[in-house]
Structure 1
Amino acid sequence: MSSGPIELAAVAAAPAPPPPVDAGRPFDFGDLYGEVAAELAGDWDDATLEPELRRLIDPASALDTVHWGRNYLYRARLETAAGPLEVVVKQFRNHGWRERRRRRRGAGKARRSWLGARAFAAAGIPTAAPLALIESRRADGPSFFVSRYLAGALEARYLLRAANAGTFGEAFPEIDFEAFLEALGATLRRMHEAGLFHRDLSIGNVLLLPPPAAVAAPEIAIVDLNRSRRLRSLSAARRTRDLCRLAIFTRPHQRRFLRAYWGADGLTRRRWLLYLLYHHGFRFKIAAKKRLRGAVKRLWQALAPRRAHVHIPSAPAGARARDKSVWDPLSDQPHQHAGRLEKLLVRTADAPSHLRQLTTFAAATPRIWRRYRELCRELYRRPVAWDGMGVAVRPWPADPEALRRAIADLGCRNVLLRLHPWAERHDDEEALARTLAEEGYDLTFALPQNRELVRDPARWRAAVEELGERFAPYGRRFQVGQAVNRSKWGVWRYGEYLELLAAAAEILRRRPGVEILGPAVIDFELHVTAALVNLPGGVPLDALASLLYVDRRGAPENRQLGFDTVGKVVLCRAIADTARCCAPRSWITEVNWPLWEGPHSPAGRAVAVDEATQASYLARYYLLALSTGLVERVYWWQLVARGYGLVAPRDDGRLRRRPSYDAFATLARTLEGSRFVGRLAAPAGAFLYRFEHPRDGVIVVGWSRDGAIPASLPAPIESLVEQDGTPATSPQGDQIVLKPAIRYARIAR
């Protein structure tokens, strides 16, 4: 039997110690301390090491996201004497009293990762080479483990999932799966023989290193070592606890893996039965934990304060609950530090204001509902000109010309420029507005608020005066307000927003032809919208502006309270048509789907999608919304941004156009100048929209909600284009296969 755990730092005290790893270089910057690997210790002096490490642990330095879960891992570039080195930074938040206690004892997650990686390297077990350990002096402050980036490494999860599904040969034709299993078993045997007990050997912590050639013996690397321990020896039970975690489900694969681990004659019946017992027990535990964690998580989210990403500034010292929002530069939006209880107390204190809002909404509901039903009956009865696609932008000072080209190549003439009234300078915004106006774009400006401006009406008026004077020559429409139903944007009582709106409207309407849009309620909370445009004494609006995000429901066809995207668009127009303080016009001034990119994403992990899904959802949302003819504009927020933009900044400073950019550009250019004339009959779960173009004739745009669905078109297909603009091989006749990514079929008249 094995003895108890030995501290990883004391590996040399174990019998038959492996060759020691060179000691790292310690550093202490006051608020940060740690070690740098010996191989890099001479690359910086004291004056250059600190700024380089501080830059590295700033998530703004991320080139891309590696993993976004309990901890955040991102790829970054470390500047060394030999040139740039690609690394992975693992950020530990260190929330909770247990982790704070471990850190006080010198056993925090980052330090355990550092010591574990050094122990693996000393034992000759492939892992990501440890490069730096960075700790915060604050007990609840973040800590970081920096390792070398294993370029081209493939997580075992993808191999094992394909093998379990029976699609391995199709998915990975260049890899010999049996050779992979044998290499995996042999590597884990060497790990255990060295006394290394991983304790979290999931399929995401096993990497197949390149090149994955069938003729070469695969090399396996083991990562995520913060739970690992060094023992004098490992019992069969402890070894099996590691082995059973891997998602190897078929009996032949399990036997091959275990024979590679135990040896041809070492897989005894006892060891086989022990493995099966542990394997099935582990799977049962994981399934039970998922169900339990879901319930506990919902309860925790309802009661516990929200935890901020470590890069977000703290609330001002001594700030009241109403004044705890701060700006998050990575997601380009505010963050609210006030906890749920604090917000509840504020809402309770403001109960009379909220009651007034609810009674106004209740009084307006009957006429809104009547108009909604009328609009539903009239839907798709008239042709709709396709001219409402828009994109929202902010300046890109790093390369203004690249931004201009990205806008031009998008093929969209409607641009919304968000201004920041709280900022002291607006030169970059004005330069961009001037350029776009000179090139003939139709410009709209958004004037968001923050808490400081809400509390200081004189400053708000001065900001609007300046922005109106500077930007009205370039565009005549101004959206006043931003997400006024979210306290992080500074508005707690809707009377506060109406005061901002009244001041801005009085100032901006001094200029002939200026139009005011509002109230810019975010998400599907149209009861708030309905109340704000029907309150007695409200400010007249020239169009209803909504930030109509549907990302929390997934696909745009999904329903919320019985309304899909089309239903929500119709309801917005019904509110505008029946409002006491708004013209019968409706705009959607923000929509997007956040990406799986950690703190750069403006929403949580639960709603994040991959780039391909974002592109598909974008095209489908625009088609569903604009084809109703009930919304004049739909703007994607925004063009350039990590985490959600159509374009992402690259690590070389250039801009990378995502699949969503191609989907937007193809949609805009293909349907430019066309008219939507109606929906065609389609199989369940599929959509066919018919457009007529004066030059290109009849274009049918089709897609499915999920999977491939065959459908028939009313005439033979003459040409077929994919969502990204790539020409496809035109099928014979009128048959088409619809997919979640939209397709454009030009058919005979």
Structure 2
Amino acid sequence: MKFEWDYFSDQPKVIKDKAFKKKMRKKYIFDFLIMFIKSIFILPFATLIMKFFKGKNELKNSEFYGLCVNLDKGDEQINLANELGVKNLLIRVFLSDINNIDKYYEFASKFKDKNILICVVQDRKSIENLLLLKNNLEIIFSKFSHLTDEFQIGIAINRLKWGFFAPKEYLDFYEVAQNLRDKKFKNLKLLAPSVIDFEYHYNVATMFNFKNIKFDKISSLLYVDRRGSPTNTQFGIFNLKNKINLLYALSKLSPKSSDEIYITETNYPIINTAPYAPTSQKECVSIEDYTKFMLEYHKIAKKSGKIKRVYWHQLIAPGYGLVDNRDDKIIKMPQFYAYKKMINEDFN
């Protein structure tokens, strides 16, 4: 079995079959070549002009802060979310678990007076069978359109372990969602392309495409530097601020997207929490640094005026969340209280 789920870290397990990965990438070599050619022209140009695009006015805290909650983490999340005062929640709905759609709906319905974003998580069957995808998306849209008008289509599209082998597969996937929306659910807003980490060549490949599609809002899983502060840099100049600047520039330049950006997943892995941490031990940080970096991250993103919302991933998760639930105990960590204070204050 190529795709297995790690219930400790809430993500797919790494695919260790190198021959399989090489075969799948070779299958789409032309797609990757197109991505490379686009990127060598678009990314340098966007970098040169990114500072010329000015952000918008800062949003209210109730609009900006968001949090990820999961069905499998239980109803304890309802009171915890209310205690924090967070108004925006992201809930994953797995296409592989479509038979339990009623459980997801019941869970989401329990969060009263919250703005819900549904993240539709792909599986390989739906990527390969677009008719199956259409049927399952219609079930999801029909069920949740009474609660929300926002749906993130896909997640971590640049990680083979999540199911997509190339940008083309994702664009075909998204096209099914958009066509269905345009035909039967015209009021819905679709978020994409959900690229994880600072791999903006995948943003270029998907945001500058030749299909008759458009992303209503940009979703990004922007993990900046898990070994340190959001002020740390990659490739010389790209700290969190400049990664946001570049992403915003791409959204402004793209004819296939709006300039409204949601960061729909980010966090820091916590030291000494294996196997719950989503990374290796060397990439984990202390509770003190986690809290500090979390506050820095939100402050930078909010002050940029270029990010409409940040969803911290997630409320309950021993390896990277705000609450530890090991041994059937609910332990509110220091970052829980720091998050609560942050979203109920304005930055100076």
TM-score (norm 2): 0.92
| Structure with max Cα Rg | 1
Q: Distance in 2 between matches of 1:426 and 1:347?
A: 33
* Pairing 1:482–2:158 present: no
Q: CA deviation at 1:645?
A: 1.4
The structure with the largest strand share of the pair is 1
Pairs within 5 Å for 1:91-490: 316=1, 324-365=2-43, 367-375=45-53, 378=54, 383-387=57-61, 388-396=64-72, 398=74, 400=75, 402-423=76-97, 424-436=99-111, 439-490=112-163
Contact map agreement 1:523 1:550 (CA 8 A) in 2: yes
Gaps of 5+ in 1: 1-315, 317-323, 672-690, 692-699, 701-749
CA distance in 1, matches of 2:189, 2:29: 33
Contact 2:218 2:262 in 1 (8 A): yes
- Letter aligned with residue 79 of structure 2: R
Task: Tell me by how many angstroms 1:338 deviates.
Answer: 3.6
1:413 is matched by which residue type in structure 2? K
> How many residues are aligned here?
342
Distance 1:578 1:393 in 2: 33
Segments of 5+ residues of structure 2 without an aligned counterpart are none
Correspondence for 1:559 among 206, 224, 233: 233
Summarize the alignment of residues 37-52 of structure 1 with structure 2, pairs less than 5 Å apart. none
Once the two structures are superposed, residues 421-468 of structure 1 have per-residue CA deviations (whole angstroms, 9 ceiling, x without a partner) of 1102023321122122xx221111111112232222222222211111
Alignment correspondent of 2:291: 615
CA distance in 2, matches of 1:592, 1:517: 20
Relative to structure 1, the CA distance from residue 467 to residue 396 in structure 2 (aligned partners, 3 Å threshold; closer, same or farther) is same
- Decide whether the 8 Å contact of 1:478 with 1:515 is kept in 2: yes
TM-score, with structure 1 as normaliser? 0.44
Q: Distance in 2 between matches of 1:450 and 1:599?
A: 24
Letter in 2 for 1:327: W
4+ residue segments displaced more than 4 Å:
none
2:69–2:77 contact (8 Å) kept in structure 1 = no
Tell me the CA shift for residue 539 of structure 1. 1.9
Q: Tell me, what secondary structure is at the counterpart of 1:598?
A: coil
Q: Which structure shows the bigger proportion of residues in helix conformation?
A: 2
1:422/1:463 contact within 8 Å kept: no
> Higher relative contact order at CA 8 Å, sep ≥6: structure 1 or structure 2?
2
- CA distance 1:346–1:421, shift in 2 (3 Å): closer
What is the distance in 1 between the residues matched to 2:168 and 2:161?
16
Q: C-alpha offsets along residues 531-583 of structure 1, whole Å, 9 cap, x if unaligned?
A: 21101115200111110012434211100112101111111111111112101
Q: Indicate if the aligned counterparts of 1:325 and 1:338 stay in contact, CA closer than 8 A.
A: no
Q: Distance in 2 between matches of 1:440 and 1:416?
A: 14
What residue number does 1:251 align with? none
What CA distance in whole angstroms lies between the structure 1 residues aligned with 2:262 and 2:295?
17
Give the equivalent residue in structure 1 for 2:306: 630
Aligned to 1:521: 195
Q: Is the 8 A contact 1:642 1:649 kept in 2?
A: yes
Deviations 1:318-339 (A, max 9, x none): xxxxxx1211111111113343
Distance 1:538 1:625 in 2: 31
Q: SS at 1:516's partner residue?
A: strand
2:225·2:232 contact (CA, 8 Å) conserved in 1? no
Contact 1:367 1:578 in 2 (8 A): no
CA contact (8 A) 1:392 1:416 kept: yes
How far the C-alpha of 1:523 sits from its partner, in A, is 0.3
**Shift, 1:383, TM fit:** 4.7
Distance in 2 of aligned mates of 1:434 and 1:346: 39
Q: Confirm whether residue 507 of structure 1 aligns to residue 180 of structure 2.
A: yes
Following the alignment from structure 2 to structure 1, what is the Cα–Cα distance between the partners of residues 45 and 10? 38
* Partner SS, residue 599 of structure 1: coil
Matches within 5 A, 1:7-46: none
| 1:604-637 Cα deviation digits (max 9, x unpaired) | 1121112222111111100011110001011011
Amino acid at match of 2:168: G
TM superposition shift of 1:352: 0.8
